[in-house]
Amino acid sequence: MGEITNVMEYQAIAKQKLPKMAYDYYASGAEDEWTLNENREAFSRILFRPRILIDVSKIDMTTSVLGFKISMPIMIAPTAMQKMAHPDGEYATARAASAAGTIMTLSSWATSSVEEVASTGPGIRFFQLYVYKDRKVVEQLVRRAEKAGFKAIALTVDTPRLGRREADIKNRFVLPPHLTLKNFEGLDLGKMDQANDSGLASYVAGQVDRTLSWKDVKWLQSITSLPILVKGVITAEDARLAVHSGAAGIIVSNHGARQLDYVPATISALEEVVTAAQGRIPVYLDGGVRRGTDVFKALALGAAGIFVGRPVVFALAAEGEAGVRNVLRMLREEFELTMALSGCTTLADINRSHILTEGDKLRPTPRL
């Protein structure tokens, strides 16, 4: 393997290494995969307005998320079933995140339990939650996450049903028999039955609560004191409802383009959500982040931080923990360079005037 110089290079290696069913599960988006491409394309249509002759000899990328200090505004998104990518799975991701001084979000559908991930050592970790029809299951799981030291719940709100991922349907996707959804093992919900379409889609149809609504955000608050991030908001209307629901923050996400196809790229939806949130709660973003320049663009549009998903899984498949460490290192270094070349020395320096979006190009040149 030649030297890896950007996070995207891990995808081709993962494709070679992984069984087709596993690779396709991680790589695919919903239906025509329009949004999957657009999550990347939309970043490429945003240009920079860098400032020059600013002393950038010292750059501070540190920030705090829900009161937790981290080394950079780059965090790890929840991605399911990481042991399908590498035998160390979520253990490797947790260790790499801790070593980089950043946050890992563990998926409900992890192949390692909350307790197992906690056993890797100290680290700031969030828990991604799917709400099951059986609320006792949810209560137990949230309590276990709290006990295992997880610091926030990222409540996924865009999955009353699973999106139509055609590769998974063709492959009759199921979790390999040597693995389980570890958080649900003791509850007899850890296995996924073979179905005549995607086994995961059937699992979701059987277990996940389609009635989930804003009142359940209140319910969740009644069973936990952990802060709740509402993950999957892409409109101003829902951003306002999230603020009113008492959420601690919003994650602008289209679930890695795996749910509803033809929704905008998250970077395109970000600004309306930020405007609607009116600074009352922080807004984060996931989806399509592959470069330090993408991180900068998201921050310039008002994100308080970003999460990366697929690059972590592909790097895990290629090189295990070392791969995930390398992804976090490359993104960090690219982001630092972008700050320097844009004339920003702290995250607070990054603002809307540092970028030019397509919408801006239609407006007269701003008098700043």
* Number of helices (H), then strands (E), in the chain: 14, 12
Point out the catalytic residue in the list 86, 244, 255, 354.
255
- SS3 label, residue 338: helix
Looking at the Cβ atoms of 86 and 258, the one nearer to ligand GLV is 258
Looking at the Cβ atoms of 21 and 337, the one nearer to ligand GLV is 21
Closest separation in Å from C-beta 258 to ligand GLV: 4
- Listed in sequence order, the DSSP H helices in 173-309 are 199-207, 214-223, 236-244, 266-277, 292-300
User: Any known ligand binding at 289?
Assistant: yes
Determine if 80 is a binding residue for ligand GLV (CB under 6 A): yes
Chain positions 86 to 115 lying near ligand GLV, rule: CB under 6 A, are 109
Strand pairing category for 74-76 and 68-70: unpaired
Q: How far apart are CA 29 and CA 166, in angstroms?
A: 8
Determine if 310 is a binding residue for ligand GLV (CB under 6 A): no
User: Any known ligand binding at 211?
Assistant: no
User: Any known ligand binding at 255?
Assistant: yes
User: Any known ligand binding at 258?
Assistant: yes
Measuring CA to CA, how many Å separate 227 from each of 21, 65, 139, 217, 299?
A: 35, 11, 15, 11, 22
The DSSP element (H or E) to which 41 belongs, if any, is helix 34-44
User: Any known ligand binding at 244?
Assistant: no
Determine if 255 is a binding residue for ligand GLV (CB under 6 A): yes
- Answer yes or no: 255 catalytic: yes
Q: How far apart are CA 265 and CA 257, in angstroms?
A: 8
Looking at the Cβ atoms of 141 and 274, the one nearer to ligand GLV is 141
- SS3 label, residue 340: helix
Orientation of helix 34-44 relative to helix 292-300, angle to 10°: 80
From 46, 126, 84, select the one nearest 297 (Cα to Cα): 46
From 89, 12, 18, 119, select the one nearest 320 (Cα to Cα): 89
Size of the site for ligand GLV (CB under 6 A): 4
Looking at the Cβ atoms of 131 and 277, the one nearer to ligand GLV is 131
User: Any known ligand binding at 165?
Assistant: yes
Determine if 258 is a binding residue for ligand GLV (CB under 6 A): yes
Closest separation in Å from C-beta 154 to ligand GLV: 11
> x/- contact string, 180-209, with ligand GLV (CB under 6 A)?
------------------------------
Looking at the Cβ atoms of 80 and 301, the one nearer to ligand GLV is 80
* Feature table: binding site for glyoxylate: 25, 165, 255
Residues forming the site for ligand GLV (CB under 6 A): 80, 109, 255, 258
Known binding-site residue numbers for FMN: 78-80, 107, 128, 130, 156, 231, 253, 258, 286-290, 309-310
* Residues with active-site annotation: 255
